[in-house]
Structure 1
Amino acid sequence: MTFPQITLFSIFGAVMVLMFSGRWRHDLVAFAGLMAAVVLGVVPAEAAFAGFGHPATMVVALILITTAGLMRSGAVAALTRLVVVENRPISLHIAVMSGIGGFLSGFMNNIAALAILMPIDMQVARRAGRAARLTLMPLAFATILGGMLTLIGTPPNLIVSGFRREVLGEPYRMFDFMPVGGAVAIAGIIFIALIGWRLIPKRRADDAQQGERSRPRRYQSQLVVTDETTFLDKSLAEMQEAVRAAGAKLIRHRHHHHEVEAEPADITIASGDVVTILADSELLDEVRSSLKLSYPDGRSEPRARPRGEGREDLIECLVPVGAEIAGRTVQSLGLINRHDSVLIGLRRQGRIITGNLHREIIRPGDLMLLLVSENRLDDLVAALGLLPLEGTGRSVMREWQMALTLGLFVAAVLLTSFGLVTMPIALGCVIVAYVLFGVLSITEIYDFVDWSVVVLLGSMIPLGLALDSTGGSALIAGGLASLTAGFPAWVALALLMVTTMFMSDILNNNATTIIAAPVGIRLAEQLGVNPDAFLMGVAVSAACAFLTPIGHQNNTLIMGPGDYGFGDYWRMGLPLEFIVMLVSVPMLLIVWPL
């Protein structure tokens, strides 16, 4: 081996060990490895930051922003409401949620798909009275599997496509991954739903207590019926049933500022009516969006709050001792006139405050659920002396923009599928449209980018290219070829996939793909066979990291909410990886003949 090869292998080895140890963040380790390679002269200084402008890096960032627009409009929540039913058998629930997660992951970043569906799955688990760990890991694995369906589903596909363009002059198209990825995803989801979830460690004794501690705080809040409300001119009983099915509770109904004394089936919903809902803040906004209700305007006799152009957030704030608002009413403070904010709910010493919140005297220790207009939170907090609770803020869905966001996204996918424009350009245009039409503001789009992933990709791409240019990947390919000498080419393909899958479990799927893709190309060249099967094999095996919580960010994302230990993943992950190999190798040979 040459000095550059020895140096790069040493850097990659150190990076792998440090990432596996978990003592430092993956992005920091990757960036440190890049800097070491530059200092030691194996990566040219002028190419050090080329990875940050790589199309794969840009697409990952752009997809996360695009997904945020779909979430903001309620498009994804609307899809899940159509198929998620309470009290389903757990196997059927896992099959449905995994199917949704797998499908969504094919057309958006699989990390974002899990982030969208995970709160829904946890909420269903709470209603069903079961541990969330039984369903969160299947959902995470399903979103990983679904990412193999399309070009944009998971970063390994994008990285492999980039290598193919450099070697063969043409990248993969949007649905080139579908035949193999679809077969693997279907087989994997069937296993997860029928058998896999049963392999997850049993419920621990403290689950009930932990679930009680993590239960979201509920508030009693008013919503206003408008001319667009779904149940306009229908009975109150029908609305009650829809609210109950969503997991909330309709407490009371007011018509012309008076409660109607009649059976719910005999009461007709009219525009201007006010309904009181018992729910946590997230569920409250979902109910409001799905029934097309409106938040109140903050007046003593509530009317529908005018639809604003900017973003609105629901956030919980604590009233500390000495706060300006303590001892006063919301009415006396002019919350709506001075701060364009509305008190939506109030809790005191663990109790839900009912009645007219507009005239309720606020006390130290109260928890206030506030609807705050864009960029007004800091002024509100400073003026009233409130303490926003970290992690409680959530943007209000803008359901009237659902058709727009879906249409733009579908148009981008179609244009990319027919090769009329590249994916980074298509997604970039979608984001520009989102900003112009007010789906996302120019100041918040950067908040939705996972910059640690950007740094990881931007750092590892130059290292992977250097390993290939110095002959390191050819050296690995030669080793694999010698090990499989005299055997059919598919044996070399299987060995490459097993090696890649193992590396992905202990390193990172993006970094593993960057290392393994050039190796696959060189191995195919040495065997004199079609490199497509090897590139596709790398994409499949690099994406399927199911043995550890560090192999894929989806595995890491569920670790806390599911209360998983480091050794819990392999129980379901190991047989799943075996199934992936069993299905993918024959499919690769059929779809991409050697």
Structure 2
Amino acid sequence: MAMEAIGLAPSTLIFIVLGLTLVAFVWGRFRYDLVALTALFASVMLGLVPADSAFAGFGHPAVITVAAVLVLSRGFERSGVVDIISNQVLKVGDRLVLQLLALVGTVVVLSGIMNNVGALALLLPVAMRLAREHNTSPSLLLMPLAFGSLLGGLTTLIGTPPNIIISSYRGSVTGENFGMFSFSPVGVAVAVVGLAFIVLIGWRLTPKRNAKSSAEEMFDTANYLVELNVTKDSKANGLTLPQLRDELEETIPVLAVVRDDNRRAGYSFHGILQEGDILLLEAGPDDLKLLEDKVGLSAVAEPEEKDEDASKEDEGEAESSEGRQPVDTEGLQLIEAVVRNDSMMNNRSVRQLRLNQQFGLHLVAVARDGSRLKQRLRDIRFQTGDVLLLQGSENEISDSLSTLGCLPLANRELQLGQPRKLVISIGIFALAIVAMLLDLLPAAVAMGCAALISLLIGVLPLRDGYQAIDGPVIVLLAAMIPVGEALETSGGATIVANILLDFGAQWPIFISLIGLFVLTMLLSNVVNNAAAALLMAPISASLAQGFNVSLDPFLMVVAVSASCAFLTPIGHQSNTLVLGPGGYRFGDYWKLGLPLSIVVLVVALPVILWVWPL
């Protein structure tokens, strides 16, 4: 009825909806799950998706499987499986090629048995520690690590959401899904050749940034820590720390309060400031002036004679150096964390998030593109990939970071977990795989049961299980599945396929497969790879039908190319996670990503046609 009122064909309307959706994805102003929901509701209003089927995607087997795999991945982390491997990786020595082989090889293997973003998140702190211990630039390790996680996801059904989506789509068309290891012949070939390319040649194409591998280097913390006296006439005398922040109208973090030679961390000091107290805080020249003018806090005088050369420094540097002290920062529980692309912090400020009040975290500094931001903390709106230097309670900081959507980069102590849980975790996963291989249970049920059993027997606490489920990805999949089906039912997929058929009519089908690969790959670099697979699956099916050949090679091409988001930092979460810690820029990714994409194309297509002939 809505379509008749507008006077446009269903295929035209779906193209308009998808076109606007893709523009919104690329723009990035709104998170991709909100964009997907908007596309879904627009499709319902236009009559492209039946209202009673609008939320059918939330019960789709692909969505359930992805959620279950995320829970199982977190279970592997908690049981200690990954930490054992990580401890071995740290022993490789200082040869860059061996470091790359160990890191990228490990993430390739892990990404085949767990979600590839989860595998990268676990090894990212290991890579940072390796870079720090062997004085290696993190930029030489992190991009290869991210790309390795994408390659590893190709090897099995559960490695990456596009594989799960393509398997479910095949089931809806032919009545039989791809199996757990149906993707392995192509995926393993691509992963092995891709790994060899990255380790032997590709790393030379990554920029060697002077991004720092530790908090001390990246944030130069010692140069910004100052001690300020609370004097008798200070306005700060008699104030609590929250009242002090209100007076300043600024989020200058007080790291510690020293009283009678006893130091207490700022987040745990709830008393009233007194004469003689010394505040240890992070402040630049402008902040020092603000502190003195508004609350009468002055820098502690240097006990020793000043260097004669100090007079040669410029005025701003001199002002800053007056407050610098060789302060012992031990016990202040500083930790680095990177802002994920699904973080609630994105495009919000410290005040909007109420970091201290709600999460018990003090923001000390922010680094972007490998360099510390110099602007006031209260003016910073966080972006995906920002590296934060935070202070908080050791017992609560992990939960706070998880809730905020941040990944800890440093101070992550590797633990071997509990042997009993490790064995149980592996056993549960193995039983699920066997059930799938013997066709006893479909993938969604087998993985769902494995995740449920892990929670019931305590391999993973229930709260951690819920936190492991990536809400934005689940909503994206659930919302875009009906929209993808509308592309097919409206005839839009057939129209696109016919254009490709006309274009490739004078060429071998192999050329059309190359075109399908390139089109899907380009799409996956600007939108989420799961969305690319959802949109291209019906188009590939129509294309196969038009050529009157087997559906399988076309679906396999979409599965592989949807995971080849090597050209931009926004195409895949793995790429985004390493953006800040590696000090990369937007244009850095294609330098390694384009040659790697060509390698994948050259390897994948012949293997696909050999395993899945036309």
The answer to whether TM tops 0.5 is yes
Alignment-derived partner of residue 518 in structure 1: 538
**Among 310, 328, 332, the residue aligned to 1:350:** 328
Alignment-derived partner of residue 464 in structure 1: 484
CA distance in 2, matches of 1:72, 1:52: 27
Q: Which amino acid aligns with 2:507?
A: F
Q: Secondary structure of 1:548's match?
A: coil
**Among 535, 541, 547, the residue aligned to 2:555:** 535
Q: Is the 8 A contact 1:72 1:397 kept in 2?
A: no
Alignment-derived partner of residue 87 in structure 1: 93
Change (3 A) 1:211 1:157: farther
Q: Which amino acid aligns with 2:267?
A: L
What whole-Å deviation, never above 9, does each CA across 1:25-79 have from its counterpart, x for those lacking one?
Answer: 1111111111111112111111111111111111111111111111111111112
Alignment-derived partner of residue 53 in structure 1: 59
What whole-Å deviation, never above 9, does each CA across 1:189-246 have from its counterpart, x for those lacking one?
Answer: 1111111111112224x647976246999xxxxxxxxxxxxxxxxxxxxxxxxxxxxx
Q: Secondary structure of 2:113's match?
A: coil
**C-alpha displacement at 1:5, in angstroms?**
0.8
Alignment of 1:410-421 (within 5 A): 410-421=430-441
CA distance in 2, matches of 1:474, 1:188: 34
**C-alpha displacement at 1:407, in angstroms?**
1.4
Alignment-derived partner of residue 481 in structure 1: 501
What whole-Å deviation, never above 9, does each CA across 1:536-578 have from its counterpart, x for those lacking one?
Answer: 0110011111101111111111112212111111110001111
**Among 544, 551, 558, the residue aligned to 2:564:** 544
**C-alpha displacement at 1:417, in angstroms?**
2.3
CA distance in 1, matches of 2:532, 2:181: 22
Residue 8 of structure 2 is aligned to residue 30 of structure 1: no
Q: Which amino acid aligns with 1:578?
A: I
CA distance in 1, matches of 2:532, 2:329: 51
Alignment-derived partner of residue 133 in structure 1: 139
Residue 39 of structure 2 is aligned to residue 20 of structure 1: no
Residue 500 of structure 2 is aligned to residue 494 of structure 1: no
What whole-Å deviation, never above 9, does each CA across 1:260-288 have from its counterpart, x for those lacking one?
Answer: xxxxxxxxxxxxxxxxxxxxxxxxxxxxx
* Structure 2 unmatched runs, 5+: 1-6, 223-264, 274-325, 333-363, 365-390, 401-405
Change (3 A) 1:349 1:415: farther
Residue 511 of structure 2 is aligned to residue 507 of structure 1: no
Q: Which amino acid aligns with 2:157?
A: L
Q: Is the 8 A contact 2:43 2:49 kept in 1?
A: yes
Alignment of 1:125-204 (within 5 A): 125-204=131-210
What whole-Å deviation, never above 9, does each CA across 1:120-167 have from its counterpart, x for those lacking one?
Answer: 111111111122121111011011011111111111111111111111
**Among 450, 453, 459, the residue aligned to 2:470:** 450
Change (3 A) 1:417 1:429: same
Change (3 A) 1:393 1:9: farther
- Give RMSD over aligned pairs: 3.2
**Among 396, 405, 422, the residue aligned to 2:442:** 422
What whole-Å deviation, never above 9, does each CA across 1:470-503 have from its counterpart, x for those lacking one?
Answer: 1111111111010000221111111111111111
Q: Is the 8 A contact 1:545 1:552 kept in 2?
A: yes
Alignment-derived partner of residue 284 in structure 2: none
CA distance in 2, matches of 1:211, 1:542: 39
Q: Secondary structure of 2:137's match?
A: coil
CA distance in 1, matches of 2:572, 2:272: 44
Alignment-derived partner of residue 45 in structure 2: 39
Change (3 A) 1:374 1:140: closer
Residue 267 of structure 2 is aligned to residue 318 of structure 1: yes
Residue 13 of structure 2 is aligned to residue 7 of structure 1: yes
Residue 399 of structure 2 is aligned to residue 399 of structure 1: no
Alignment-derived partner of residue 277 in structure 1: none
What whole-Å deviation, never above 9, does each CA across 1:444-463 have from its counterpart, x for those lacking one?
Answer: 32111110101111111111
Q: Secondary structure of 2:478's match?
A: helix
What whole-Å deviation, never above 9, does each CA across 1:314-346 have from its counterpart, x for those lacking one?
Answer: xx983225189xxxxxxxxxxxxxxxxxxxxxx
Change (3 A) 1:586 1:72: same
**C-alpha displacement at 1:369, in angstroms?**
6.3
Change (3 A) 1:317 1:176: farther
Residue 578 of structure 2 is aligned to residue 558 of structure 1: yes
Q: Secondary structure of 1:129's match?
A: coil
CA distance in 2, matches of 1:178, 1:390: 30
**C-alpha displacement at 1:24, in angstroms?**
1.6
CA distance in 1, matches of 2:85, 2:464: 25
* Structure 1 unmatched runs, 5+: 218-315, 325-347, 355-364, 378-388
Change (3 A) 1:215 1:424: farther
CA distance in 1, matches of 2:473, 2:140: 28
Q: Secondary structure of 1:467's match?
A: helix
CA distance in 2, matches of 1:577, 1:172: 24
**Among 217, 223, 248, the residue aligned to 1:212:** 217
Runs of 4+ that moved beyond 3 A: 206-211, 213-217, 348-354, 367-375, 389-398
CA distance in 2, matches of 1:353, 1:529: 66
Q: Secondary structure of 2:525's match?
A: helix
**C-alpha displacement at 1:178, in angstroms?**
0.8
Q: Is the 8 A contact 2:212 2:218 kept in 1?
A: no
TM-score, normalization: structure 2?
A: 0.69
Alignment-derived partner of residue 260 in structure 1: none
CA distance in 2, matches of 1:470, 1:133: 46
CA distance in 1, matches of 2:153, 2:45: 36
Q: Is the 8 A contact 2:152 2:191 kept in 1?
A: yes
Q: Secondary structure of 1:130's match?
A: coil
Change (3 A) 1:317 1:441: farther
CA distance in 2, matches of 1:131, 1:209: 11
**C-alpha displacement at 1:84, in angstroms?**
3.8
Q: Is the 8 A contact 1:317 1:369 kept in 2?
A: no
Q: Secondary structure of 1:443's match?
A: helix
CA distance in 2, matches of 1:459, 1:97: 35
Q: Is the 8 A contact 2:108 2:148 kept in 1?
A: yes
What whole-Å deviation, never above 9, does each CA across 1:407-437 have from its counterpart, x for those lacking one?
Answer: 1112212222222212222222222222222
Q: Secondary structure of 1:23's match?
A: coil
Identity of aligned residues (%): 42
Change (3 A) 1:46 1:216: farther
Change (3 A) 1:390 1:150: closer
Q: Secondary structure of 1:318's match?
A: helix
Change (3 A) 1:207 1:390: closer
Alignment-derived partner of residue 62 in structure 1: 68
Change (3 A) 1:503 1:370: closer
Change (3 A) 1:374 1:476: closer
CA distance in 2, matches of 1:535, 1:349: 60
Q: Which amino acid aligns with 1:8?
A: I
Alignment of 1:236-385 (within 5 A): 318-322=267-271, 350-352=328-330, 370=394
Change (3 A) 1:129 1:41: same
**C-alpha displacement at 1:103, in angstroms?**
1.0
Deviates more, 1:469-478 or 1:557-566: 557-566
Change (3 A) 1:368 1:108: closer
